[in-house]
Structure 1
Amino acid sequence: MLYAIYEWWREAFTNGESWAEAWSFLNILKYLTVRAALACMLTFVLSLVFGPRVIRKLISLKVGQPIRSAEEVHKLHELHGAKAGTPTMGGVMILGSVLIAVLLCGRAMNPFVAVTMFVMLGLGLLGFVDDFTKVKLKNSDGVSARTKLAWQFGIAFVAACFLFFKPEVAGTLEYSEPKRATIENVVAEDGEVSERQDRYPPKDATGFWVQIDGKAERMSSSELTAPLLKKPMFDLWYLAIPFFAVIIIGASNAVNLTDGLDGLATGCTITTSLAYAVLAYLGGHLVLGFDYLHIAYNPLLGELAVVMMALVGASFGFLWFNCHPAKVFMGDTGSLAIGGALGTAAICTKQELLLVIIGWVFVMEALSVMIQVGSFKLRKKRVFAMAPIHHHFELRGWHESQVIIRFWIISILCAMLGLASLKII
């Protein structure tokens, strides 16, 4: 909406309409950084304003979080038993505020924005059904694992196909102007100034581009990139579709597993979303991203930063109520949606493998469950006192607040490490 206002003003200004000169400040709305910052502040304010009302409504509907019995979790029940009845489904605060902010501050028809919001809202709906089922049945089972996985795969498969086949993403659209966009003139060997026609992508190019040996080369959306490497490693071709789906499903479930302590998943979401907001901005910036850092460039990618910054602001606002002792839980409504959005953002920015570093806390939580289950099935022994791993540290004597803050610290450091790896070649 804000960008539409800018375009309306720009057209009037170009046509020489008198009022447009007085309203020249609207020119600021074209800047991505301004709209991303506004989205972040808007979601934070919306969460603070409507958060208490949402919490009161959830309490009135008696949608309290079911807590597993002492027979199921033993000592952990003593640590978390008091949380029984705390309202869940608080993820609706995050989803609602992000949706409003994206519609107001972003460009909803941008393919990267559209697919990320599709995944986020689709998985949020799945989480809502899961949470509602838990509350209705008054147990922690919810939707069956098979049904949940099928729903996740369906959403992820649609998103993966969109990212693989969409012309603006895949780069299958033809551009009309063959001349390369140049940033600087280069002095030739004979002393004359000439233009490097092959250093930068065409002005109206689509899809992804990467700079290899000083030349701009087309990059398929199915090619896999890695930290510390300028060139893509290899092309997955049609295997990219299941690969993308696995990333979305894995990220969604990883965040869901992390959401076990007050504010743990929310705090880690802030650092991971902020890092991918930076990556999206750089991926859509010709000078900083393509020319300086040599990362995959797509002229439409920068708009994804609005979505990520909206998620940052919404997470800060939710953390206001979710910090220990939590007044509300995000539930699967929030955790599944957030994980799906982060996984989609990693694919859109062509930084899929970097998600392992930036989102290490989420990865660590998921790995701990896989190791625990695998070890018990193979050796009949447990590696951790309890999985996910945050419960292991609780049972080893760490206070809940210690676990949360220390995991936040790890998340911040990993996000910084992930961003730092962009320039180390």
Structure 2
Amino acid sequence: MFYWLYLTFASTEYVPVLNLLKYQTTRTGLAIVTAQFVVVALGSRFIRWMKAKQGKGQPIRTDGIERHVLEKSGTPTMGGVMILAGLFSGVLLWADLTNVYVWAVLLVTAGYGILGFMDDYAKVTKQSTAGISGRVRLVLEAAIAMAAIALIILFAAKPPESPELLTSVTFPIFKQYFVDLSWGYLLFGAFVIVGAANAVNFTDGLDGLATVPVMIAAAAYGLIAYLVGNYVFSTYLQLHFVPGVGELAVFCGALLGAGLGFLWYNAPPAKIFMGDTGSLALGGAVGTIAVATRHEIVLAIIGGLFVAELLSVVIQVAWFKRTGRRIFLMAPIHHHFEKLGWSESTVVIRFWIVSIMLALLGLATLKLR
């Protein structure tokens, strides 16, 4: 909205200060502050309201860590609503709303947030850890992801030097090499987005465990979006130039700010859980940004923690069905370490450290060309 004011009035002599809004860095900083303020301002009242509405709060797995059942029972869920309120406020106020990449990521974020809300609502009302059908949810997630990718392919500006880039898979380290999948990219991109959403969903099992790694990934991809969307920087670093995608730096800033605001209430002991409302939406957003910036494979590095959490569940289930035995003491893998005797805070902080290291490693690929 404010970017529109810049476009409308900045050329006049009456409001020259609006010229600051032409800089993505300025609007990214303002989006961080706005999103954080909205979440913190909503927090206490929203949590009280959710406690009154949800009664027993989010159901806790009875086959899990015993102390979790005792300590976390009664904690309300659907805190993702707070995150999305801050995120959307920051984006809608400070981003360029004529940018197709902004709307594509907003589409996935909102769509996945609604799916997560439906899942959380089913769990709370039924007082069961089983929400809506997994197959139904995956189909809807894939449909939303492909709709967003189609939006980008059809309406985003084509890179002048390689117009087929919008339907191509790029690779880290290699300079200008990419594989054009044509419309088959819809399936690949949907796989990335759906995988990212569910990986973050599996990670969200301890207080603050998913929040900070998502913020780290958002910060990393905010920098990537800014560099890839800037012709000078992308040329210098020998990256694929994607015109217009730099505006996603503002989205990443809003996501970072919303995460900071939510962490104020989600830090151990959590006053509220983000639930599927938050984890699916945030994971889907990060996955869509990875697709938009053409750094999908790098997401496996920057979001390596999420990949490990997802794989631990897949491996555990597959191996148990095959042999009747478990590889991990409990999946997702953060519970495995708890079973080994690590305290919750130890697991969370060490996983944060791993996330920072992986993000730095992923960013290093920008220069290794």
Shorter-chain TM-score: what band? over 0.9
Structure with larger RCO (C-alpha < 8 A, sep 6+): 2
Instruction: State the partner residue of 1:403.
Output: 347
- Whole-Å separation in 2 of the counterparts to 1:167 and 1:405: 42
Matches within 5 A, 1:315-354: 315-354=259-298
Gaps of 5+ in 2: none
- Whole-Å separation in 2 of the counterparts to 1:40 and 1:29: 14
- Whole-Å separation in 1 of the counterparts to 2:68 and 2:89: 37
Instruction: State the partner residue of 1:33.
Output: 25
Instruction: State the partner residue of 2:143.
Output: 154
- Whole-Å separation in 2 of the counterparts to 1:167 and 1:28: 28
Instruction: State the partner residue of 2:93.
Output: 104
1:101-159 deviation per Cα after TM superposition (whole angstroms, max 9, x unaligned): 11110112311000000000000001001101111111111111122112212212212
Moved more, 228-237 or 275-284: 228-237
Moved more, 397-406 or 296-305: 296-305
Instruction: State the partner residue of 1:65.
Output: 58
Instruction: State the partner residue of 1:268.
Output: 213
Instruction: Give the secondary structure class of the aligned counterpart of 1:234.
Output: strand
- Whole-Å separation in 1 of the counterparts to 2:214 and 2:115: 19
| Candidates 158, 181, 186, aligned match of 1:236 | 181
Matches within 5 A, 1:109-124: 109-124=98-113
Q: Is the 8 A contact 1:47 1:97 kept in 2?
A: yes
Q: Is the 8 A contact 1:244 1:347 kept in 2?
A: yes
Aligned letter for 1:167? F
- Whole-Å separation in 1 of the counterparts to 2:249 and 2:357: 21
Aligned letter for 1:135? V
TM-score (norm 1): 0.84
1:299-328 deviation per Cα after TM superposition (whole angstroms, max 9, x unaligned): 211111111110000001101100111000
Instruction: State the partner residue of 2:10.
Output: 10
Give aligned-pair identity as a percent. Answer: 45
1:11-39 deviation per Cα after TM superposition (whole angstroms, max 9, x unaligned): 424xxxxxx2xx32221111110001100
Instruction: State the partner residue of 2:325.
Output: 381
Shift of 1:219: 4.1
Gaps of 5+ in 1: 14-19, 169-205, 210-215
Aligned letter for 1:2? F
- Whole-Å separation in 2 of the counterparts to 1:224 and 1:139: 40
The answer to whether residue 200 in structure 2 is matched with residue 255 in structure 1 is yes
Q: Is the 8 A contact 1:223 1:232 kept in 2?
A: no
Matches within 5 A, 1:19-58: 20=14, 23-58=15-50
Aligned letter for 2:196? A
Instruction: State the partner residue of 1:357.
Output: 301
Instruction: State the partner residue of 1:135.
Output: 124
- Whole-Å separation in 1 of the counterparts to 2:306 and 2:238: 28
- Whole-Å separation in 1 of the counterparts to 2:106 and 2:87: 9
- Whole-Å separation in 1 of the counterparts to 2:171 and 2:82: 35
Q: Is the 8 A contact 2:197 2:281 kept in 1?
A: yes
Shift of 1:231: 1.6
- Whole-Å separation in 1 of the counterparts to 2:348 and 2:227: 30
- Whole-Å separation in 2 of the counterparts to 1:232 and 1:341: 26
Aligned letter for 2:295? Q
The answer to whether residue 258 in structure 2 is matched with residue 314 in structure 1 is yes
Instruction: Flag the structure with higher helix content.
Output: 2
- Whole-Å separation in 1 of the counterparts to 2:318 and 2:61: 23
Q: Is the 8 A contact 2:164 2:180 kept in 1?
A: no
Compared CA separation, residues 146 and 219, structure 1 to 2 (3 A): closer
- Whole-Å separation in 1 of the counterparts to 2:26 and 2:164: 29
- Whole-Å separation in 2 of the counterparts to 1:85 and 1:265: 20
Matches within 5 A, 1:71-110: 72-73=63-64, 76-110=65-99
- Whole-Å separation in 2 of the counterparts to 1:28 and 1:139: 50
Q: Is the 8 A contact 1:157 1:241 kept in 2?
A: yes
1:363-416 deviation per Cα after TM superposition (whole angstroms, max 9, x unaligned): 110011111111112222211001100000000010000000000000011111
Instruction: Give the secondary structure class of the aligned counterpart of 2:32.
Output: helix
Instruction: State the partner residue of 1:213.
Output: none
Structure number with larger C-alpha Rg: 1
RMSD: 1.3
Compared CA separation, residues 150 and 217, structure 1 to 2 (3 A): closer
Instruction: State the partner residue of 1:186.
Output: none
- Whole-Å separation in 2 of the counterparts to 1:301 and 1:317: 26
Instruction: Give the secondary structure class of the aligned counterpart of 2:210.
Output: helix
The answer to whether residue 293 in structure 2 is matched with residue 305 in structure 1 is no
Shift of 1:160: 2.5
Aligned letter for 1:236? L
Moved more, 372-381 or 265-274: 372-381
- Whole-Å separation in 1 of the counterparts to 2:215 and 2:158: 28
